[in-house]
Amino acid sequence: MVGSWQDAALVAVDLEGSGAQDRDREAILEIATIPLTAGVVQVAEGYHTMINPGRSIPRRPWISPGLTNDALSGAPALSSVEPELSARLNSRILVGHNIAVDWRLLQRRCPTLRPTGLIDTLRLARQLDTERAGLSLTALLDRHTLTRRVSELAPGGQPHRALWDAVGAGLLLACLAEQIHGARPVSLRELQRLAAIPLATLTPIRPGGEQTELFPRATADGSPQVRLRRPPRPSRNSHAWR
């Protein structure tokens, strides 16, 4: 079917952040991108990495286990990851659960990203689930008996970690899309009508949107190398509805 959502260039995305409570210091801690081919998640072709946030991150209830300062200190800086993200996300439609929250922070930190649209599985679930109860990603995956499959595709992962949640969002999209017309594939246009989120324009933090490294490298004279950032606008917690 020409124009089916399965023919579109889609990529499931999830990131974990330090939380909007950080305001101008809100940082990306982890990101995963999983392409969908013919509506099927392609984990082997995906990308997943933790991100060095440029500073120590205090322990907070909403920061997932495993995203510790020790682990993050050995991760790449966002500036070195952004070209890879651009190659994987530009000219594609991003899919995620409450994707506007992820895109808000991605757009601020990585201004070179140029996706063509956003598909929100939370919004789609709200359109299809008249009860509107238990609309978190984990609740919806349980309801549609997808949790085990997510864990199989993301071994060692867990809810509220980027890889697990990105895989879950991709599987959930395919499951929900099947409910719209049953055996007949839904068109991309209709899927966008039900689940698209506008690509809002936000002011980048600074050209390049860089985060400094947790343990800055020294300059030629041995002094610490420090990069400055402009503060973004405050925003809501990145873990809402997850």
Q: Which of 64, 225, 86 has its CA nearest to residue 138? A: 64
User: pLDDT above 90 covers what percent of the chain?
Assistant: 66
Contact at 8 Å (CB) between 199 and 115? yes
Model pLDDT, residue 230: 36
Residue with tokens 């959502």: 5
Average pLDDT over residues 180-207: 78
Model pLDDT, residue 58: 82
Contact at 8 Å (CB) between 11 and 34? yes
**Token pair for residue 74?**
């050995």
Model pLDDT, residue 66: 87
Q: Would the pLDDT of 130 be above 70?
A: no
Model pLDDT, residue 126: 93
**Token pair for residue 109?**
């930190």
Q: Would the pLDDT of 129 be above 50?
A: yes
Q: Which of 101, 135, 99 has its CA nearest to residue 119? A: 99
Cα–Cα dist 42/90, whole Å: 17
Model pLDDT, residue 224: 37
Torsion of CA 162, 165, 167, 171, to 10 degrees: -160
- Secondary structure E strands in 121-221: 196-197
Q: Would the pLDDT of 78 be above 70?
A: yes
Quick: pLDDT tens for 6-45.
999 999 999 998 876 667 788 999 999 999 999 999 999 9
Q: Would the pLDDT of 235 be above 80?
A: no
